[in-house]
Structure 1
């Protein structure tokens, strides 16, 4: 969403109209779900994707037409090989798409884009409210209070919600990924995690390695005591944690602390022998078997990774998968926004 909002604002500032294309509903099998977006300008698709194929191509053509007509609309697409609104696709489902025309003369839209981008940069939650009839949008803060526009009756949900008049999208502030250990793998991992909308935080006890200049993509770099994490950093149940310090002792110290609280994900690097030794100590410290089973170790998807870059890809892949599973869970669901 950040890329789309930034490009939309740039187009408006250049006095060019755009059409914001958003999937607002799906049934059955579809390439992408509600909240997926792309931006279309006079020369065609500018950024984002709603799944590719015919649905994206036909949406682009319709957006170009609406751009000339300077209007918004909703459109249903059947991703089947039969029927009046069929796109001759074999997915078997269908999608409903909202086409929002935005003019550079629309001061409210400019303010909404600017404020939403500011909140994303500051990792402040909120909701963007699109109207199904293409009328004025709204932006809500993390408590559901209107910052811009009229809030209407938009539900406060972590997922995208379509009502009769509104489509509400939570601002994707991104999940925080706390990486304990600032070595070679961390340097490869941080930019990858940032590229897929995690918010990396690097934590190490060595001042020479806990250097913000070495991690330009990190939201924060902390130099703290591995024996007292809470003294310099608070963890939340929504955090993803990767432990890959320089030694068994530090890994043990960190796990003994973090496994006493709820976290979204815990991954620990190391050989099976090291894992067994550390787990034995954790059991002695009172960490339950149930808790130990939640730890992803050896961390990462099994792709026989060897180099720091390969290991970083492996870890990122596993974290993407675990995040997707949480989003599918009704208790944690969030929109897969572009």
Structure 2
């Protein structure tokens, strides 16, 4: 029954977009608090389900699991339960614990279901991103168009955005039908945990929007994390190419890429060793 609760804890976290891990005691030697097969769930915030024995051992495993979740890498631990080990315990045994990390698939939240939003949705689906679509216009927020989207939210964009549990696996793109709605959308998400926030617009519109938000008490440091104008400088200005440019920027952030072309990175721009501009 305890293992079932742990598995439900993992499932709930994944569905909510929260990174988590399961710690499994794969072997134990000598005296140890629990036996092999014991499990415990840990999320990225340190919340747990189940126990592997409490005390110093459990604290160490929780700390290691949180680090593994942040790194996105599974870990195999061997912990010595004696005074000479890292835990300074008196059990006298040793235990092996495997930490399996679960990372929910990335999600793109698209505020605006117009031409660019629609193209961005189709490209996001092709790249296996989960999506949420939002628009204040009922005829644009059409579930028959965005059939694979997790949610298609109609109505006030600000209110709908504030109702979403935004995590570090989320990428937000603001492409609404006007300056007023872009500003409201940005205000709703700028302090969120989203890994990426991008907003479309001209330099003048963006400067005006940011000034308005500063007047409302949002700091320059917070606003500087916004990618605006959104996207890489690669499109011809048509909606589909703009969507490609936005996805390119998202992939750059997601994969911590440099954005440089590989020829320049691998050959310095010239196959034969000459540096080029």
TM class by shorter-chain length?
0.5 to 0.7
Aligned to 2:211: 280
Give how far 1:262 is off. 4.2
SS in 2 for 1:318: helix
Alignment of 1:304-319 (within 5 A): 304-319=235-250
Which one has the largest radius of gyration? Answer: 2
Contact 1:188 1:309 in 2 (8 A): yes
Contact 1:120 1:171 in 2 (8 A): no
Contact 1:245 1:251 in 2 (8 A): yes
Aligned to 2:34: none
Distance in 2 of aligned mates of 1:238 and 1:163? 25
**1:25-58: per-residue Cα shift (whole Å, max 9, x none)?**
xxxxxxxxxxxxxxxxxxxxxxxxxxxxxxxxxx
Distance in 1 of aligned mates of 2:242 and 2:38? 42
Contact 1:127 1:141 in 2 (8 A): yes
Aligned to 1:36: none
Give how far 1:194 is off. 3.3
Contact 2:20 2:102 in 1 (8 A): yes
- How many pairs were matched up? 208
Distance in 1 of aligned mates of 2:110 and 2:131? 7
Q: Give unpaired runs (5+ residues) of structure 2.
A: 1-7, 27-36, 51-60, 78-95, 258-277
Aligned to 1:188: 119
Aligned to 1:162: 75
Give how far 1:256 is off. 2.4
Alignment of 1:4-15 (within 5 A): none
Distance in 2 of aligned mates of 1:299 and 1:128? 37
Give how far 1:289 is off. 1.8
TM-score normalised according to structure 2 size: 0.60
Aligned to 2:132: 201
Aligned to 2:275: none
**1:72-121: per-residue Cα shift (whole Å, max 9, x none)?**
xxxxxxxxxxxxxxxxxxxxxxxxxxxxxxxxxxxxxxxxxxx9xx8899
Q: Say whether 1:214 aligns with 2:127.
A: no
Alignment of 1:28-107 (within 5 A): none
Aligned to 1:17: none
* RMSD of equivalent CA atoms: 3.9
Q: Could you say if the C-alpha distance between residues 232 and 160 of structure 1 is closer, same or farther in structure 2, counting changes exceeding 3 Å?
A: closer
Q: Could you say if the C-alpha distance between residues 167 and 310 of structure 1 is closer, same or farther in structure 2, counting changes exceeding 3 Å?
A: farther
Distance in 2 of aligned mates of 1:254 and 1:188? 19
SS in 1 for 2:157: coil
Aligned to 2:272: none
